[in-house]
A and B are shown apart, each in its own frame.
Chain A
Amino acid sequence: MNRRLSLFNVTSLVLGFAFLYLPILLLMVYSFNASRLVTVWGGFSTQWYSALFRNEPLMEAAWVTLRIALLSASAATILGTLAAIALTRYGRFTGRTLFTGMIYAPMVMPEVITGLSLLLFFVAIGLDRGFWTITLAHTTLTMCFVTVVVQARLLTFDRSLEEAAMDLGAPPLRTFFSVTLPLIAPSIVAGFLLAFTLSLDDLVIASFNTGPGATTLPIRIYSQVRLGLSPEVNAASTILIGIVAVGVLTATLLSKRSLLRSDRTAG
């Protein structure tokens, strides 16, 4: 159907996207501001970027954040995929209602509750707060998002492919690795990227579960922001947004290519 959009529809799209993107664009533009005042334009400069790379606590925090995100997203992807398989391929097992509850609740639960409860748990079992407690906390939160993404894919794909492989005598494990896994791979990659970004981004849960030597980038940025606006934070944000934009673009292109390929083999 190729109707033309009404003026009202076009206006709401333009205003909506302006609202979504203008603040981010302004933030990026002002990272190239020569003036220390974030809201007054004083000419073009890249000085805040060089200041950023000389800021050792910030660089250290970025490195910690990256390691936590990689570790927790990997663990979350495995756990989340298993959970998705359990929910779509096991029918009604005992405690299924509790299980789906535990998958959906962390996604909407206010972060202050999740953060506080995990912290009290770690203290109760005597685990020192720091790198590993943040990693465990992030794994728990992000695996739920992975589950939902992978589950959506498992529910829509053609089950007869699995059955055909098994009818032809493929053992279950082989069927899983050569039929199911390739088919759900794009959603697993998408789930991993989502988990990775959520971990990079998290301030509240990390603040509750952090300890000496485990200051993440959001915690560092937050403490700087509380002291006032700083062009260095703008520069750091611009780099982060750039990395994420490139990542999302690559993922989109990759999934498009795999879609084209599966279309070709299907046709």
Chain B
Amino acid sequence: MAGPSFLKRLGPGLVPFVPYLWLAVFFLLPFLIVFKISLSDPAVAQPPYRPVFEWSDIAAFFSGLDLENFATLIDDSLYLDATLSSLRIAAISTALLLLVGFPIAYAMARAPQKHRPLLVALVIMPFWTSFLIRIYAWVAILKPEGLLNQALMGLGLIGDPLNILNTETAVYIGIVYAYLPFMVLPLYASLEKQDHSLIEAALDLGSPPWRAFWTITVPLAMPGIVAGSLLCFIPAVGEFVIPDLLGGSETLMIGKQLWSEFFSNRDWPLASSVAILLLLILVVPIVIYRDVESRQLEGRR
């Protein structure tokens, strides 16, 4: 950086201070509170947990904390099952997203230069329409008497309606549909920068097309693959709306579990420990994602 910038003279420290303070208060502090409440006992009161701060007696405050809720999470196989099934569903969905997203991103990157901005706009556009509405649209399509079954039966492809809604298949369809822009855009960004003459050189030297693809295109697209996969995998693990509306009661996911612990059972401490559990699972992918993103952004300088 060339010399002290003018903004530094403008108000030293003040500019970063305001958003910093905001995030510390409204993002960091709430996590500490979740952590505290995850260690406390539920109470039949409003709010339904024991007081958070008892400054008068710090010893009593600490003795009131225990790992009871986390013991519940381990004892009750429901939470372990929900965690494993969330990780599985998110991993399979991410793999499906790569399979569906890569050909689209690749074709966009190969399209004539003048059409590319339009193609990018077309991928972003659905993201601007409501997530809830886009998932709701699939309910009408996947229902037993829904539009997909009507179409397939009308074409004579199937005799009896397929049961897709309220199964895990519906959840995969929902996640792939809702997260596709998040996969396609990072992939496109890394594929677009590639020099196609590398592929041509490989082909000229007698390499079969699939080999040129695996040894040149894919490794060069790695930053996009990593960013896109994390961008889809992390929120998918904690997804609530999609398993709730499309997955039915048989789909177990940890985000849904947290929601019902909180809203149906009104057990706030247990809901908090589920949140801490979810956070612990995701902290490593989140840190990797942050590194990849800030390195890419700073690398553009």
Contacts and interface: CB of A to CB of B under 8 A. Distances in A.
B264 to A, nearest CB: 13
Contacts, number: 268
Contacts of A166: 6
Contacts of B286: 104-105, 108-109
Interface of A: 1-3, 5-6, 8-10, 12-13, 16-17, 19-21, 23-24, 26-27, 30, 38-39, 79-80, 82-83, 85-87, 89-91, 93, 95, 99-106, 108-113, 116-118, 120-121, 123-124, 136-137, 139-140, 143, 147-148, 151-152, 155-156, 159, 162-163, 166, 172-173, 175-176, 197, 200-201, 203-204, 207-208, 218, 221-222, 225-226, 229, 233, 237, 240-241, 244-245, 247-248, 252
Size bracket, chain B contacts: 35 or more
A191 to B, nearest CB: 13
A2 B115 CA distance: 11
A39 B294 contact: no
Contact of A112 (B22, B258, B300): B258
Contacts of B131: 201, 203
Interface stretch (B59-67, B73-81, B137-145, B216-224): B137-145
B175 interface: no
18 contacts: A10-B107, A13-B107, A13-B119, A23-B134, A86-B16, A99-B16, A104-B293, A108-B231, A112-B278, A116-B272, A116-B275, A123-B47, A148-B297, A197-B128, A201-B131, A225-B245, A237-B130, A244-B129
Contact of A27 (B1, B7, B136, B289): B136
B29 interface: yes
Contact of A120 (B5, B33, B113, B234): B33
A143 B6 contact: no
Query: Which 10 A-B pairs have CB atoms at the shortest separation, nearest pair first?
Result: A110-B238, A86-B16, A12-B103, A117-B30, A9-B107, A121-B30, A83-B19, A16-B104, A23-B137, A172-B6
